[in-house]
A and B are shown apart, each in its own frame.
Chain A
Amino acid sequence: MQTNQLLAMFSGSLLLLGLIAYFLARGKAARVRASGTSMYAQPDQYGWFTVMSTAGPALAVGAVGSFVMLLVGAEIPPLLLLAGSLVVACAGLVIGVAMVRPDFHARQAIERVIRFFLAGAALISIFTTLGILLSIVFEAIRFFQMQSFWDFITGTTWNPGASFLAAAGRAEEGASAAQFGSVPLFAGTFMITFIAMLVAIPIGLLAAIYMAEYAPPKVRTFAKPVLEVLAGIPTVVYGFFAAITVAPIIVGIAGFFGVEASFNNALAPGIVMGIMIIPFISSLSDDVINSVPNSMREGSLALGLTKGEMIRDIVVPAALPGIISASLLAVSRALGETMIVVMAAGMRPNLTANPLEDMTTVTVRIVAALTGDQEFASAETLSAFALGLVLFVVTLSLNLVSVIMIRRFREKYRVNNL
């Protein structure tokens, strides 16, 4: 029999059992109550409790069974497994109906089960982080068994070239040995991030200052959503824009000044990424500047400062932890940005300080290593996970520092809405 049909039959019979359980238990409770005995809970609640005691253990058995099958590879016939869980369901039904007694707190039992389920859902986010960490770490360890960690950190040549041939057992056909020196990738990543920050931090911060200190309320209600639109545009669209529109403009301008620029120059993705990041900086900085206490503004104005001096010397320094926190979040966002660089930056690992040359980034190499038909166990594919591990560690630390900074700011000025 097909697995799908089997599953359909299983869920059908479970549903039927649940219905039977509900009506049996509710009927029994109603009868008990009709006989004049007062009960702790409503008949409906006894019904629902029995449904839970029927379906819960059965589903748990099914889930554990299939998980064991997947994990250990133990061969349990699906038919046996499903039949087993149906038996458990019947047992649950009988026990559930037997528990319908006047002194049984059905409502509290339901409450406990629901609480358990909600806590289980909350655990999924923890499992997600663990899953990311474990999947990356395990594959990265496999990579570092093939390649030396030291070469990966300090090497200046990234040439995975023939590693997939080695994985296929045809190493001698590859002309040169694969090299995995990640320095050029990180250089490229930091170069593009640096350009992005040169665009995003001044514009974002100044826009935040304008919105928080100068703008009339009307402009503010209009400008904030407009800036948010910048963050809502999909990155693949930005990537296309950078590659098709911005890069040729930059090449043209460079050509006008007699400088040669590559069409995959680092400037185009950097600038476009910076524009994408403006709202991240401006909206958080705006919130922070707004929560600087007004007494500080009034005090400085009373001492005779002009408005500009007040902003420069009092408000911005007070808001600095929040602004730094926003910038760190923005840096972490820029480091992990993928589509813009995949589409607009180059593929060639290139160690250079010239932003007009093509250079590649960590995320570009991750995508390049994992697309295309390659042996999963090859060093090139696994190198993606090693790069991912570094990316994870760097962004995680940036995020944590950022959270600590904003918490410090919050404690200093006792604001709760950040």
Chain B
Amino acid sequence: MRQSFDDISAQLRARHRKSARLKWISMGALGLAALFLVLFFADMLVKGLPAFQQAKIQVEVDYSEQASQIPLAAVNEDVRPLVSRGYLRLIPGRMRDNPDLLGTTRMEWVLADGQVDQYLKGHHARLSDKEKAVVDRLKEEGRAELPFNTTFFTSGDSKMPELAGIASAAMGTVLTLLVTLAVAFPIGVMTAVYLEEFAPDNRFTQLIEININNLAAIPSILFGLLGLAIFINFFGVPRSSPVIGGLTLALMTLPVIIIATRTALRSVPDSIRHAAFGVGCSRWQMVRDHVLPLALPGIMTGSIIGLAQAMGETAPLIIVGMVAFIPDVTTSFTDAATVLPAQIFTWAGEPDRAFIEKTSGGILVLLAVLITLNATAVVLRKKFERRW
């Protein structure tokens, strides 16, 4: 069959159109992923930013004899359901500490109930119409405000949303990550140094290498099963403690640190090693004095990234019991503790709508820390990167 010139050029045009289509589709795929990222962050910001504000109302607090017995009596009946019960509970104690208060009446800014907070932020709130009217009146008089929420950063978990904060979870995260770093960093660096600088190329070394790559791909929840069966049931490490969480996460972070360190060691040129041997260094002296210092920025970058990964990990920690309700900030490595992602998980399960806000607020804090960590790693790499 013979084709006319027009046929062929039409065919060619169609082929080029098809080719252009692939470009646009593939660009669209990338755009879709970026779009999702934007939507995701927008959604989290919209949901979470209000958590950094907390309603306070100005009410008359009457430090009477009766109030030291029944704290509810300290405030007027119409605003009583609007004041946080957590605040009222503290009144008798404060009166004991400060006897001058007895018999005085003061106008004070007090923490409002979680429902008032939701109402002021324009969300649905479980308040009666009468209570809503009172809040509206207070707002008109300038006696209801939404100042910055310091409670969120200074207190631990609570069943009352207005008193719930991330301090205990943040402390738990710090303790857990300290354990993780203390275990995973030395072992990871030592393993990498052995594999890169010392190990002979034999079956055993290959086994270790395959094993490390495989460990990096094992589902994290299985590390939780390991922690439960071996660390808790066999070695008797206390459940829910930063030690057990840190150990479990350390085993997970180990492959990340090993792989990063090996890459860093490999990027140090052999001429450095030859020169060190040439002036009479032993192998360990060569590694300690010449190769490791040069590889250190790469090792640090890898460790920070590994740590950031461990920080966001939740599943294995749930298995080893780190989802406890921790109202107080503890600094012990062996007491029950919780971590930020586990706190987010716990709050996400609370039915109260105010906790959705707290959860998103916690997520924003977690994401901010993670982004900072990763950015630090990138900056470190950019700053110390050397082309040999």
Contacts and interface: CB of A to CB of B under 8 A. Distances in A.
Contacts of B323: 371
Given A125-B208, A230-B33, A236-B312, A338 B221 contact: yes
Contact of B284 (A111, A239, A244, A395): A111
Interface stretch (B24-32, B66-74, B88-96, B294-302): B24-32
A211 B34 CA distance: 13
B384 interface: no
A96 to B, nearest CB: 19
Interface string B105-128: 000000000000000000000000
Given A338-B221, A343-B348, A367 B315 contact: yes
Interface string A191-209: 0000000000011111101
A137 to B, nearest CB: 10
A121 B319 contact: no
A138 B20 CA distance: 57
B212 A339 contact: no
A243 interface: yes
A381 to B, nearest CB: 9
A338 B313 CA distance: 10
Contacts of B360: 240
Band of interface residues on A: 35 or more
B215 interface: yes
Interface in B340-364: 341-342, 344-345, 348, 356, 359-360, 363
B348 A115 contact: no
A414 interface: no
A236 B190 contact: no
B359 A240 contact: yes
Given A136-B225, A236-B341, A244-B356, A229 B37 contact: yes
B194 A223 contact: no
A124 B284 CA distance: 21
Given A118-B190, A203-B29, A128 B225 contact: no
A38 interface: no
Given A129-B214, A309-B19, A210 B228 contact: no
Highest count of chain A CB atoms <10 Å: which of B22, B215, B221, B366: B221
A207 B191 contact: no
A391 B229 CA distance: 16
A222 to B, nearest CB: 10
Interface stretch (A11-19, A29-37, A329-337): A329-337
B32 to A, nearest CB: 6
A50 to B, nearest CB: 17
B154 interface: no
A131 B22 contact: no
A384 B221 CA distance: 11
Contacts of B212: 125
Given A70-B235, A308-B23, A396-B214, A385 B229 contact: yes
A125 B314 contact: no
B190 A117 contact: yes
B344 A240 contact: yes
Interface of A: 70, 107-108, 110-111, 114-115, 117-119, 121-126, 128-129, 131-132, 134-136, 138-139, 202-207, 209-211, 213-215, 223, 225-227, 229-230, 232-237, 239-241, 243-245, 275, 278, 282, 306-309, 311-312, 329, 332-333, 335-339, 342-343, 363, 366-367, 370-371, 376, 384-385, 388, 391-392, 395-396, 399-400, 403
